[in-house]
Amino acid sequence: MKIITLTYPISLNDIELNDQSFSIALGHFDGVHRGHQQVIHKAIQTAKERGIASAVMTFHPHPKAILGQGEQYYQCLTPSDTKLRLFQELGVDYVFVVSFDMQFSAITPHAFVEEILKKLSVVNVVAGFDFRFGARGAGNTEVLKELCASDISVEVVEAFEIDGIKVSSTVIREYLEQGQIEQANHLLGRRFSVEGTVVTGDQRGRTIGFPTANLLLAAPYVTISLGVYAVKAYLGNRRFHGVLNHGMKPTFNKDDIVPVMEAHLLDFSEDIYGEHMQIEFVSFIRKEQRFSGIQQLIEQIGQDAAQAKELLSRN
């Protein structure tokens, strides 16, 4: 898969397209969830049928973050590196990452088609039913069809539903904020995950028999519900089962602080400070709570670990 970063106005001088024509999926694709996958699969299918290259065009950072339309869009379901990996796993040939800045935000729908799509030799476009483009979201799929006319074919993918629920990043974010991990994972089509570096914490876990790996997140992920989770942790190619607490550690902290993620890996005792770790969230166990003392906390963590082990044995 070839990755090409574009800045508007685009220049073809430094881009190697090898005289390719493209069937391209358009969207931000935060989450690359099962609805997004329908759009991307359609672009790939059409590319194969027409003997051309498949592509995804996405935008970074999120347009709504640049335009100040919602602080939550600074937080992501899938960081850029993860999105690119998922695109590759789906079988995409090219990814065009458009730098979304104020200049690009002012582009007209007509200019988007003429100065970007046609300039890149796009001959087929696939977009979700709710795709908007151009300044102030002036363009929708009907406008896209009109502007592309006979030069570019346009395929629109309708809303994708699972069990009567429309799959969307907004719904997935809401599930995660409520601790409904299984529901979020079902719509994502994979387990929600975060990754980062293992850093030194207060090391209290060691003193009570449950050492934890404190994770410094590599990106501003969407906020998930505070609480305890059954997780799978990855250190390179090695996978471990674990129980993770996401919260303020209220037994030790009386005042609110920035929430932290700390994972206790089951049957594991290595020193992994400084290592890169990926965490997949499998099940929500309980909400975070304050205990009357250390012994009560130790007993609860033991119960959490046992429950996590049982849950993970089935997932």
Domains and CATH numbers, the chain: 2-166 (3.40.50.620), 191-312 (2.40.30.30)
pLDDT in tens, 225-234: 999 999 999 9
pLDDT in tens, 119-173: 999 999 999 999 999 988 899 999 999 999 989 999 999 999 999 999 999 999 9
Distances in whole angstroms, Cα of residue 293 to Cα of each of 152, 250, 298: 67, 11, 9
Q: Let me know if 126 is exposed, middle or buried by CB neighbors in 10 A (0-12, 13-18, 19+).
A: buried
Which residues are CB-contacts of 82 (< 8 A; sequence separation ≥ 6)?
193, 195
Please name which of 235, 249, 230, 247 lies closest in space to residue 303, comparing C-alpha atoms: 230
Structure tokens at 159: 């809303």
Mean pLDDT of 51-60: 95
Phi-psi region of 149 (alpha: psi -120 to 50; beta: other; left: phi over 0): left
Rg of the chain (C-alpha set): 22
| Pair of tokens at residue 257 | 């602080």
The mean predicted confidence, pLDDT, of the chain is 89
Averaged pLDDT, 241-247: 94
Rounded to the nearest 5°, which phi and psi values hold at 17? -105, -10
| pLDDT given at position 15 | 84
Q: What is the pLDDT of residue 203?
A: 57
Reported as type and span, the H/E element at residue 206 is helix 204-207
Considering only residues 116 and 252, tell me which one the structure prediction assigns the higher pLDDT: 116
pLDDT tops 80 at residue 291 = no
Cβ neighbours of residue 85 closer than 8 Å, sequence gap 6 or more: none
Q: Where are the beta strands (DSSP E) in 20-82?
A: 22-26, 53-60
Average pLDDT over residues 62-85: 73
Q: How would you label 38-65 residue by residue, b for 16+ Cβ within 10 Å and e otherwise?
A: bbbbbbbebbeeeebbbbbbbbbebbeb
